[in-house]
Amino acid sequence: MPDLLWDRSFAFEQSGEDTELLKELLDLLKSSSLSDFEKIKAGLAADDGEAVADGAHSIKGAAASLGVEGLRAVAHAIEKMGRAGQQADVDVAELEDLISQLDTISI
C-alpha cells in the first residue's frame, strides 16, 4: 500500500498552528483532489495527455502545500507522463488509493 508520507509539522506551520484551519484545508484537499481525479480519468478516456497532466498538476500543487509528500510524488509522476504523451501507460490505482487515505489523516 502506498504511503501518504505526510509532513505534519510542515502542514502545521503552513496553517499557522491553527488546527481548525488545518482540518479545513485537509478537507479541501480531499475534495479538490477528487474532482481533479475525475478530470484525469476523463482525460485518460479521451486519450488527452494534456488534460491528464493538468489534473495531476493540480493535485500535485495542493498536496505539496500541505506537505503530503506521497500524494505529491505520485501526482507528479502522472503529470510527467501526461505531458510526454504517455497517458496510455498511466495507472491511476495508486493515486486513487492515496486520495482515499486522506480521510485517515489524524491531526
Q: Does 64 bind another protein (CB under 8 A)?
A: yes
Q: Does 102 bind another protein (CB under 8 A)?
A: no
Cβ proximity to another protein: between 25 and 92 the closer is 25
Residue 14: half-sphere exposure toward Cβ, Cα within 13 Å: 17
Q: Does 70 bind another protein (CB under 8 A)?
A: no
| Cβ neighbours around 14 below 10 Å, total | 16
Q: Which three cell numbers stand for residue 66?
A: 500541505
Q: Which three cell numbers stand for residue 26?
A: 485537509
Minimum distance of another protein from residue 62's CB (angstroms): 4
Say how far apart CA 46 and CA 78 lie, in whole Å.
Answer: 16
Please list every residue from 23 through 42 that binds another protein, using CB under 8 A.
24-25, 28-29, 31-32
Say how far apart CA 86 and CA 63 lie, in whole Å.
Answer: 23
Q: Does 52 bind another protein (CB under 8 A)?
A: no
Tell me which residues touch another protein (CB under 8 A): 13-17, 21, 24-25, 28-29, 31-32, 54, 57-58, 60-62, 64-67
